[in-house]
Amino acid sequence: MVRRKLVRVVAAVGAFMMVGAACGGDDEEPSGTGGEPTDEGPKQVQVYGTDGNVGNALGEEFGEPGQLVNMKGTTPLTELGEDFTSRLLEINPELTDFNYAGEGYDAVTVVALASEIARTNDANVFKDQVNGVTTAGEACTDYATCLAIVQAGGDVDYDGISGPLEFVDAGEPSVASFGVLQFIEDNTTEVTEYVVIGDPADATQTAPPAAGDPAAAFAGGPLIIGTLLPITGDLAFLGPPEVAGVQLAINDVNAAGGVGGVDVQLVEGDSGDQTTDTATQTVDREINAGVSAIIGAAASGVSLSVIDRITAAGVLMFSPANTSDQFTAYDDAGLYFRTAPPDLMQGQAVADIVLDEGNNSIFILARNDPYGTGIADVIEANLLESGIAEDQLMKVIYDPNAQSFRTEVDQIVEFNPDAVVLVGFIESATILSTMNEQGVGPAQN
């Protein structure tokens, strides 16, 4: 397995109201299977999460303070500026998290620039400009500046809200920033630091086709963008910031002159989750409405259920939050892109944090879907490669629709690990409550 470069940067002080946390693990040597409790009582198990369960929405599921105080996690996140977050709050004053808002904003901006460069709203044409928008050109950080460069016949390198992007040939970032987030006493979260994984040298070296003549007529009519974001379902807590990020980008694109000299149109839609047919219905409606691109979905499993439908229609799919490694080599006719980094990156970030904090025995508990199993496999591989003994590592995959997770928690108790890595969505609240009841959860002993 090829490990990407990890660089730890930017210590953050104070609450940022974003996502997840825990104290460092101890350096106690494991004994037998997992660790053994001492005469002083059971040790404090360190609990780690990932982007699917380290948001304030999880904390809202707990009425008593301190229930998550020993939980830490990662989410794709850069240090968002106050200007950006304040403008998001103007769109939705109820936002408490900003997860994937920057990624949603950047997805729209990249699509708009690619369409403008190609001088068409035909996704089968402008798809070939997408990677080039993010690499090797004159740097610009907002649509208006980038548009001016394009209209002057120049080449742009868009560095966005979510990072430098620098897409690889597969249409995903070569470099990613993750926020390390910790739950505090009131079950809300604060950013403790940022880590950066990846290498910009991996960015595509493939030159895009020649740009269209900026003076030529724009072909195909106005650019119409649809959304496939979680208004309902088990990732509904991610919907509001993503929706706000998309809307803010549409506003900024249109304020700068739109695409082809006319406003970009937005058709909004709900993705639901894998227990419903909502995503299929939304996709069909938006294709019939003439969209050239669909921003979404958030859940990897939902995207996998509709990606063939979207690309077969010649529509570009651009996810702000898919992380499954399956998309890197997916047969998508060159029409799938994402601003979210793949699990290969987040899995390494989580594994490195777990190891840096001195944990020697680890229990991985992950939901049974492409997101859960994918990131769990990456975490497991990184831990084993870093020297964790096989008998000190246990991985269990659970049914996220189960009525109870007592069996899985009993397995944690029996294994008695230094750390638990929980890869899940909102059902994590039930799992963590059961873990707390059994003395292996993030609540302080």
DSSP 159: -
Return d(Cα 178, Cα 195) in angstroms, integer: 5
What DSSP assignment string belongs to 332-365?
Answer: -TT-EEESSPPHHHHHHHHHHHHHHTT--SEEEE
* Tokens of residue 81, six digits: 């500026």
Q: What was the pLDDT predicted at 56? A: 87
Query: How much is the pTM?
Result: 0.83
* Tokens of residue 379, six digits: 């975490």
Query: 282, 286, 335: which is closest to 308 by C-alpha?
Result: 335
Burial per residue of 378-388, b for 16 or more beta-carbon CB atoms within 10 angstroms, e otherwise: bbbbbbeeeeb
User: Could you name the CATH architecture of 99-167+219-322?
Assistant: 3-Layer(aba) Sandwich (3.40)
Question: Are residues 57 and 429 in contact, defined by beta-carbon separation less than 8 angstroms?
Answer: no
Q: How many CA atoms lie within 13 A of 66 on its CB side?
A: 3
Return d(Cα 80, Cα 77) in angstroms, integer: 8
* Tokens of residue 63, six digits: 């009425």
Tens digits of per-residue pLDDT, 417-429? 999 999 999 999 9
How far, in Å, are 104, 130, 276, 382 from residue 229 at the CA level? Answer: 10, 21, 14, 31
Band (38; pLDDT cuts 50, 70, 90): very low
Whether the predicted pLDDT of 7 surpasses 80: no
Q: Is the peptide bond before 297 cis (omega within 30 degrees of 0)?
A: yes
Whether the predicted pLDDT of 16 surpasses 80: no
- Please list the residues that pair with 11 across neighbouring strands: 193
Band (33; pLDDT cuts 50, 70, 90): low
Domain boundaries, the chain: 1-98+175-202+344-445, 99-167+219-322
Return d(Cα 109, Cα 92) in angstroms, integer: 20
Tens digits of per-residue pLDDT, 209-232? 999 999 999 999 999 999 999 999
User: Could you name the CATH architecture of 1-98+175-202+344-445?
Assistant: 3-Layer(aba) Sandwich (3.40)
Measured from the Cβ of residue 406, the count of other Cβ atoms closer than 10 Å reads 13
DSSP 158: E
Q: What was the pLDDT predicted at 444? A: 74
How far, in Å, are 267, 365, 416 from residue 83 at the CA level? Answer: 26, 38, 46
